Chains A and B, each alone.
Chain A
Amino acid sequence: MHTLRKYYHPYISPFDPCPPIKVKGYETPPNLYMGFQPPSLPQFEPKKALAYGTLWPALYSPYPSPPVRKEVNE
Chain B
Amino acid sequence: MWYYEKKLEYPVKVSTCNPTLAKYLIEQYGGADGELAAALRYLNQRYTIPDKVIGLLTDIGTEEFAHLEMIATMIYKLTKDATPEMMKQAGLDPHYVNHDSALFYHNAAGAPWTATYIQAKGDPIADLYEDIAAEEKARATYQWIINLSDDPDLNDGLKYLREREVVHSQRFREAVEILKEERDKKIFF
Which residues of A pack against B, CB within 8 Å? 2-3, 6-11, 23-24, 26-29, 32-33, 69-72
Contact = CB atoms under 8 A, between A and B. Distances in A.
**Which applies to chain B's interface (DSSP): helix, strand, loop or mixed?**
loop
Interface residues of B, number: 17
**Which applies to chain A's interface (DSSP): helix, strand, loop or mixed?**
loop
B125 A26 contact: yes
Given A69-B188, A70-B189, A28 B52 contact: no
Nearest to A5: B188
Interface string B171-189: 0000010011111110111
A6 B178 CA distance: 11
Contacts of B124: 26
A9 B54 CA distance: 13
Most buried by B among A8, A69, A70: A8
A59 B184 CA distance: 23
A8 B51 contact: yes
